[in-house]
Structure 1
Amino acid sequence: MKALVLAGGRGTRLRPLTNTSAKQLVPVANKPVIFYGLEAIRAAGITDVGIIVGDTGDEVRAAIGDGGRFGIRVTYIPQEAPLGLAHCVLIARDFLGDDDFVMYLGDNFLVGGIQELVSAFRAGDYSAQILLTPVDDPGSYGVAELGRSGQIVGLAEKPDDPASDLAIVGVYMFTAAVHDAVRAIRPSARGELEITDALQWLIDHGHHVHSHLITGYWKDTGRVRDMLECNRIVLESIETSIGGSVDDRTEVTGRVVIEPGAVVEGSVLRGPVVVGADTKIVGSYLGPFTSIGAGCVVEDAEIEYSIVMSDSTVRGVSRIEASLIGRGVEVTPARKAPNTHQLVIGDHSTVRLRG
Structure 2
Amino acid sequence: MKAIVLAGGHATRLWPITKDRAKPLLPLGEEKPIIDYILEDLDEEVDETIISTNEKFAGDFEDYVEEYDRNARVVVENQDSEEEKPGTIGAIINLIEKEDLDDDLVVIGGDNIYSFETSNFLDFCREKDGPANVVFDVKDEEIAKSIGVVDLDGDQIVDFEEKPEEPPSTLGSIAVYYFPQDKVSLFNEYEEHFKQTDVPADQYLDEPGRLIEWAHKQTPTYAFSFDGYWFDVGTPRGYLEAFETVVDGNINNAASVNNSEIGDNVFIMEGCELDGAKIQNSIVFPNSRIVDSEVRNSIIDQKSNIEGADVNDAIIGEHTTL
* Aligned pairs for 1:15-54 within 5 A: 15-30=15-30, 31-42=32-43, 44-54=44-54
Indicate yes or no: 2:151 matched with 1:145: yes
Counterpart secondary structure, 1:204? coil
Supply the AA of the counterpart residue of 1:204.
K
Equivalent in the alignment of 1:352: none
Paired with 2:7 and 2:234, the residues of 1 have a C-alpha distance of 12
TM value normalised by structure 2: 0.81
Indicate yes or no: 2:235 matched with 1:230: no
CA RMSD of aligned residues (A): 2.7
Counterpart secondary structure, 2:9? coil
Paired with 1:299 and 1:158, the residues of 2 have a C-alpha distance of 45
Equivalent in the alignment of 1:293: 269
* Shift of residue 190, structure 1, vs aligned partner: 7.5
Equivalent in the alignment of 1:109: 113
Larger radius of gyration: 1
Instruction: Note the residue ranges of structure 1 that are not aligned, 5 or more in a row.
Output: 237-271, 335-343, 347-355
Deviates more, 1:150-159 or 1:216-225: 150-159
* Aligned pairs for 1:102-251 within 5 A: 102-126=106-130, 128-135=131-138, 136=140, 137=142, 138-147=144-153, 149-184=154-189, 185=191, 186=194, 189=200, 191-192=202-203, 193=205, 194-205=207-218, 207-236=219-248
Equivalent in the alignment of 1:75: 74
Cα 1:174/1:150, change in 2 over 3 Å? closer
Equivalent in the alignment of 1:310: 286
Counterpart secondary structure, 1:102? strand
Supply the AA of the counterpart residue of 1:77.
V
* Shift of residue 172, structure 1, vs aligned partner: 1.1
Instruction: Note the residue ranges of structure 2 that are not aligned, 5 or more in a row.
Output: 310-314, 318-322
Question: In structure 1, which of residues 80, 89, 94 is the aligned counterpart of residue 92 of structure 2?
Answer: 89
Paired with 1:177 and 1:309, the residues of 2 have a C-alpha distance of 46
Equivalent in the alignment of 1:254: none
- Whether the aligned pair in 2 keeps the contact of 1:29 and 1:231 (CA below 8 Å) is yes
- Whether the aligned pair in 1 keeps the contact of 2:49 and 2:71 (CA below 8 Å) is yes
TM value normalised by structure 1: 0.74
Cα 1:294/1:95, change in 2 over 3 Å? farther
* Shift of residue 96, structure 1, vs aligned partner: 6.1
Indicate yes or no: 2:275 matched with 1:275: no
- Whether the aligned pair in 2 keeps the contact of 1:39 and 1:70 (CA below 8 Å) is no
* Shift of residue 230, structure 1, vs aligned partner: 0.8
* Shift of residue 5, structure 1, vs aligned partner: 0.6
Counterpart secondary structure, 2:107? strand
* Shift of residue 214, structure 1, vs aligned partner: 1.5
Counterpart secondary structure, 2:181? coil
* Shift of residue 62, structure 1, vs aligned partner: 5.3
Paired with 1:156 and 1:83, the residues of 2 have a C-alpha distance of 22
Paired with 1:59 and 1:295, the residues of 2 have a C-alpha distance of 26
- Whether the aligned pair in 1 keeps the contact of 2:62 and 2:74 (CA below 8 Å) is no
- Whether the aligned pair in 1 keeps the contact of 2:124 and 2:224 (CA below 8 Å) is no
1:38-70 CA-to-partner distances (Å, cap 9, x unmatched) read 12222x42251101112642463255134x624
Equivalent in the alignment of 1:2: 2
Cα 1:235/1:316, change in 2 over 3 Å? same
Counterpart secondary structure, 1:161? coil
Paired with 2:8 and 2:135, the residues of 1 have a C-alpha distance of 23
* Shift of residue 333, structure 1, vs aligned partner: 1.5
* Shift of residue 328, structure 1, vs aligned partner: 2.5
Paired with 2:187 and 2:252, the residues of 1 have a C-alpha distance of 45
Paired with 2:275 and 2:133, the residues of 1 have a C-alpha distance of 47
Supply the AA of the counterpart residue of 2:137.
P
Counterpart secondary structure, 1:109? strand
Identity, in percent, stands at 27
Equivalent in the alignment of 2:312: none
Supply the AA of the counterpart residue of 1:142.
G
Paired with 2:283 and 2:2, the residues of 1 have a C-alpha distance of 33
- Whether the aligned pair in 2 keeps the contact of 1:47 and 1:73 (CA below 8 Å) is no
